[in-house]
Amino acid sequence: MLIELLHNRDCPNAEATWSLLTEVADALAPDAERVRREVPTFKKALELEFPGSPTIRVDGRDLEGPLAPREPSLTARGYETGTGVPPRWLLEAALLRARPPAGVLFLCVANSARSQLGEGIARRLAPAQVRVLSAGSEPAPIRTETQKVLASMGIDASGHSSKSVDTIDPALVDTVITLCAEEACPLFLGKARRLHWGLPDPAGVEGTPVERLNAFFRTASELQRRLEVVWKPEPAAEDEAARADALRREVSAFYADAVAYGAGDGGAGPGSHGASCGSGGGSSGCCGSSSGCCSLGGTAGLAGYDARAFVKLPSGMRDTTFGCGDPVSMAELAPGQTVLDLGCGAGLDLLLAADQVGPAGRVIGVDMTPRMLEQARRNVDAAGFTNVELLQGTIEALPVEDASVDWVLSNCVINLSPEKPRVFAELARVLRPGGHVRVSDITAEDLPAWARNSLHLYASCVAGALPVQDFLDGLTTAGLEDARALSMHVYSATELESLLGTAPAATCDDGCADCDPQVGSTWQRRLIASVTGKIASVTFTARKPG
Ligand SMILES: C[S@@+](CC[C@H](N)C(=O)[O-])C[C@H]1O[C@@H](n2cnc3c(N)ncnc32)[C@H](O)[C@@H]1O
């Protein structure tokens, strides 16, 4: 077993954490290798994917389990102890997880409440082969509140009985968890690892029946929280859908804020969420860079739109545009056709398409972010088009009929989907036989793992981007033919700088941080150096067999 403590330079909690870790490891895993690493700079933190100080990993797994994607940081991690030192039980539970018990005994005085709750909850969480027992100094009738609480958790305690510790065969137990708080716990004489999780006795609570029952619930939920660290499986496939939903919600919040900022009616804009696929907010876009976009300015320029296209469009359109290409100009739209834009945002491509398909044609924009659709509605109305429909929905489950559109367009959206195979399948489903795809998107080859795990880079259209070949394979696997890249623009370092905006700066509120005001720019410089040459804007074409 490898136990690592990573902490920030000068972290005031480091000594206390290391000494606690040493004490717990001596007791529960004396032969485990222990390593202490100081993180002296933000650069080092990035390399170690360090979520904050202190970080404890047991066999590479963070004490708190899998972490959501986030930027490494030099700031303190908060724990319930209020001191920045993890609670002892959390460390103990993490070591038990890494070296699981074969037989666990919960001990308290009467074996009627806490230890019975521990036994019931552990039985439910532990794998079937683990022996779970409980006992006390003296057997006593199991409290009715214990039974009620276990029953309400769906745990059948009908087979439970109250036992004296003397009746337990020491050979069956390798781990003992004592739960007494105020009282002296019974002594277990066998050889076993010992943990003490002193919890107040709910049976000692005086008050109404409801207050007493609540005390039992509190003890049960504390035990559940701790035992889940030991036995709860890592998120499995069935949680993937929930994870995808959570990521979509993050992305949607990001773009709601970006469009509000661009529209000039609020939103934190670049520097809080940072940029979108282009800068979040027009005025801070690519102008000033050498990207050659300044004839137009903002993200729209970097995407390659012709400034002349904007002449007829509502003013401010460019400031609420977050695309990375110009798929409409690469399509051959004809009057009367039906066009679907996946992730239409504030609607620039909808307007360009609406003009080309004319009043006899139909343009449908789908986006999951209500604030974006509001902006799109304003833009469509201001431009006076009557052939545009806006639908709220996700591109993984399009609210559009089978085989109903001639063209599927999309501009810098598919990279944001956590479920890309579903998007490709949907795209093929809604196309008419012989219908076409023109999708501009960001592609990324060989990104470092830390960049792939960054939420900021995900929302900025980089971390979720596919390599070109994977994008083509996705289209082909969905049943489309003649999938090709029509154009590719590999971003220069300067372009990436404007594309990615400012990374969220580390906060320095705990005395634990290396309060470097340059942290944001250090992060960005390192990021840009490591991804330059790997990120491109590509426009793809494909066709549904006729
Ligand atoms: C980078 S912006 C591009 C917007 C627009 N295509 C443009 O060129 O300005 C991404 C847009 O896709 C939307 N989006 C991202 N993921 C989505 C999903 N899974 N389903 C529907 N919309 C999504 C966001 O709400 C946002 O409006």
pLDDT in tens, 381-398: 999 999 999 999 999 999
Residue among 138, 133, 102 at smallest CA distance from 119: 133
Ligand 1 pocket test target in 413, 422, 426, 427 with most atoms within 8 Å of CB: 413
Asked if pLDDT for residue 105 goes beyond 90, the answer is yes
First to last CA, the chain: 59
**Ligand 1 atom 23: the closest Cα is on which residue?**
343
Q: Indicate which CATH number applies to the domain containing 494.
A: 3.40.50.150
- The per-residue pLDDT for 301 is 63
CB atoms within 10 A of CB 467: 15
Selected residue with higher pLDDT from 31 and 70: 31
Contact 536, 491 (CB under 8 A): yes
Asked if pLDDT for residue 163 goes beyond 60, the answer is yes
Ligand 1 centroid to residue 463 C-alpha, Å: 15
Asked if pLDDT for residue 204 goes beyond 50, the answer is yes
Asked if 20 and 163 sit in the same domain, the reply is no
- The per-residue pLDDT for 82 is 76
> Which of 96, 117, 137 is at the close of a domain?
96
Ligand 1 pocket test target in 321, 326, 349, 368 with most atoms within 8 Å of CB: 368
Q: Which helix (H) or strand (E) holds 249?
A: helix 237-262
Asked if pLDDT for residue 17 goes beyond 90, the answer is yes
Asked if pLDDT for residue 198 goes beyond 60, the answer is yes
Asked if 348 and 490 sit in the same domain, the reply is yes
Is the shortest distance between the CB of 118 and ligand 1 below 6 Å?
no
The residues near 443 (Cβ < 8 Å, ≥ 6 apart) are 415, 465, 466, 467, 468, 471, 488, 535, 536, 537, 538
Tokens of 47: 């390399």
Q: Indicate which CATH number applies to the domain containing 127.
A: 3.40.50.2300
Q: Which amino acid, one-letter code, is at 545?
A: P
Backbone angles phi, psi at 409, to 5 degrees: -110, 160
Asked if 480 and 378 sit in the same domain, the reply is yes
Asked if 295 and 401 sit in the same domain, the reply is yes
> Among the listed ranges 7-11, 215-219, 346-350, 504-508, which one has the minimum average pLDDT value?
504-508
Domain membership of residue 239 (yes or no) is: no
Asked if 166 and 277 sit in the same domain, the reply is no
Asked if 360 and 485 sit in the same domain, the reply is yes
Asked if 327 and 471 sit in the same domain, the reply is yes
Instruction: Compute CA distances 344 → 323, 337, 368, 439, 500, whole Å.
Output: 9, 18, 9, 12, 20
pTM: 0.60
Contact 163, 134 (CB under 8 A): yes
Residue 193 pairs in a beta bridge with 175
CB atoms within 10 A of CB 488: 13
> Which of 231, 265, 296 is at the close of a domain?
231
Instruction: Give catalytic status of residue 324 as yes or no.
Output: no
- The per-residue pLDDT for 523 is 63
Asked if pLDDT for residue 173 goes beyond 60, the answer is yes
Tokens of 171: 């050979």
Domain membership of residue 244 (yes or no) is: no
| Percent of the chain topping pLDDT 90 | 60
> Among the listed ranges 37-51, 266-280, 301-315, which one has the minimum average pLDDT value?
266-280
Is the shortest distance between the CB of 343 and ligand 1 below 6 Å?
yes
Q: Indicate which CATH number applies to the domain containing 86.
A: 3.40.30.10
Is the shortest distance between the CB of 344 and ligand 1 below 6 Å?
yes
Ligand 1 atom closest to Cα of 367?
A: 22
Domain membership of residue 90 (yes or no) is: yes
Instruction: Give catalytic status of residue 11 as yes or no.
Output: no
What average pLDDT does the chain have?
Answer: 85
Q: Which stretches within 395-465 are classed as H helix?
A: 420-430, 449-452, 455-459
Contact 302, 498 (CB under 8 A): yes
Asked if 289 and 227 sit in the same domain, the reply is no
Domain membership of residue 188 (yes or no) is: yes
Ligand 1 atom closest to Cα of 323?
A: 8
- The per-residue pLDDT for 248 is 93
Distance CA 295, CA 289 (A): 12
Domain membership of residue 287 (yes or no) is: yes
Contact 32, 25 (CB under 8 A): yes
Asked if 256 and 185 sit in the same domain, the reply is no
Ligand 1 centroid to residue 25 C-alpha, Å: 48
Asked if pLDDT for residue 375 goes beyond 70, the answer is yes
Residue among 364, 347, 424, 352 at smallest CA distance from 399: 364
Q: What is the pLDDT of residues 483-510, one digit of tens each?
A: 999 999 999 988 888 777 644 433 333 3
> Which of 63, 78, 96 is at the close of a domain?
96
Instruction: Decide the pairing of beta strands 535-543 and 481-490.
Output: antiparallel
Q: What is the pLDDT of residues 432-451, one digit of tens each?
A: 999 999 999 999 998 877 77
Domain membership of residue 238 (yes or no) is: no
Instruction: Give catalytic status of residue 286 as yes or no.
Output: no
Domain count of the fold of the chain: 3
Residue 7 pairs in a beta bridge with 38
Instruction: Point out the catalytic residue in the list 185, 277, 293, 512.
Output: 185
Domain membership of residue 236 (yes or no) is: no
Q: How confident is the model at residue 365 (pLDDT cuts 50, 70, 90)?
A: very high
- The per-residue pLDDT for 90 is 96
Asked if 168 and 293 sit in the same domain, the reply is no
Residue among 63, 125, 96 at smallest CA distance from 193: 96
| Percent of the chain topping pLDDT 70 | 87
The arithmetic mean of pLDDT across residues 99-121, rounded, is 95
Is the shortest distance between the CB of 73 and ligand 1 below 6 Å?
no
SS3 content of the chain, % helix, strand, coil (to 5): 40, 20, 40
The residues near 419 (Cβ < 8 Å, ≥ 6 apart) are 244, 396
> Among the listed ranges 16-30, 464-478, 493-507, which one has the minimum average pLDDT value?
493-507
Domain membership of residue 471 (yes or no) is: yes
The arithmetic mean of pLDDT across residues 390-416, rounded, is 96
Asked if 13 and 105 sit in the same domain, the reply is no
Is the shortest distance between the CB of 255 and ligand 1 below 6 Å?
yes
Asked if 42 and 132 sit in the same domain, the reply is no
> Among the listed ranges 104-113, 215-224, 264-273, 325-334, which one has the minimum average pLDDT value?
264-273
- The per-residue pLDDT for 84 is 84
Ligand 1 centroid to residue 445 C-alpha, Å: 22
Q: Which helix (H) or strand (E) holds 61?
A: strand 61-62
Asked if pLDDT for residue 284 goes beyond 80, the answer is no
Selected residue with higher pLDDT from 52 and 382: 382
Asked if pLDDT for residue 285 goes beyond 60, the answer is no
The domain of 192 spans: 100-231
